[in-house]
Amino acid sequence: MGCWAIGGPFHNDSGPSGWGEVDDDESTRTIHRALDLGVDFFDTADVYGAGHSERVLGRAVKGRRERVVIATKWGWTFEEDTKYAVGGNDTAAYVRQAVTASLERLGTDYIDLYQLHIGDVAVERAAELLGVLEELVAEGKIRAYGWSTDLPDRAEAWGRDGAHCAAIQHDFSVVHGSRREILEVCERYGLASINRGPLAMGLLTGKYTADTQVGAGDVRGSGVEWMTLFGKDGRPSPEHLARIEAVREILTSGGRTLAQGALGWLWGVSGSTVPIPGCRTVAQLEDNAGALEKGPLTADQVKEVEALVGA
């Protein structure tokens, strides 16, 4: 379960960075339902909701810590009281400050997977972080670390040199089917390929049409440069909607919902994939978790989807 959305609103100079208002009680019920249905990997970041996502997750799993795997990220600095994301800090000195704060917000004494959240840090500079990360592993504050990056050379560097590097998180979904370079790095070094945006920021749930417009305060309507799935007006990209329609029949085979098919496609692509679909409600979680029962698409279905989306 991806926990960006349950962090609620926060912002930076470019505008909103969250997914709008959120109900913390519903978020807690959603996390509890996830555990009931066999979902035990929760991915968050310190900056989500300017610390709020970590706090909600920590409260929700209190007394159940041994049942969950918590992944969080560091690198983007923020003001918790104003919910303002200030900027990045990729220094080795900041890692200890950030991990201490995350442990407090999560209410735990260890983090299972600690991930660098700034995707374009220079390889040489990122190498300077490995020493302190290995120290944190030795101290028991983290069990493993990884990098959230869409740049193959960054993934390669930590996969090769990071003794306790266990995962690379990258943007990967049906609509981005051709992005295989980082997956190949993960397979080569035995890393988990954590799939950010496996439902294409909601497009692969099937509830968005060309006439849909996300609300104010939603990052999908912020117009930031990296937002390609939605336009500056908050409406879905026609190109991506067309891709989804092209593969809808395959993804919904076997009684799957569109979201379940999108997750099944990722599992069919590789045994290394770990999709982290976000959600804010129990109903959304139950739809996503239903993919577990349906399982992966077949190899033939994976190939057919890739042919249709131009992968």
Burial of 136 (C-beta count, 10 Å sphere; 0-12/13-18/19+): buried
Collapse the DSSP code of 210 into the 3-class scheme (helix H, G, I; strand E, B; otherwise coil) and give the result. Answer: coil
Residue from 40, 51, 188 nearest 113 by CA: 40
DSSP per residue, 99-133: HHHHHHHHT-S-BSEEEE--TT--HHHHHTTHHHH
CA dihedral (203, 206, 212, 216) positive or negative: negative
208 carries an active-site annotation: no
Element (H, E) at 87: strand 84-88
Residue from 116, 195, 198 nearest 157 by CA: 116
**Structure tokens belonging to residue 228:** 């390609």
Residue 15's region, left for phi above 0, alpha for psi from -120 to 50, else beta, is left
Catalytic residue among 48, 114, 145, 208: 48
Beta carbons within 10 angstroms of residue 87's beta carbon: 11
Asked if 306 and 250 count as a contact pair (C-beta separation under 8 A), the reply is no
The single-letter DSSP state of residue 43 is E
Asked if 203 and 240 count as a contact pair (C-beta separation under 8 A), the reply is yes
Catalytic residues: 48
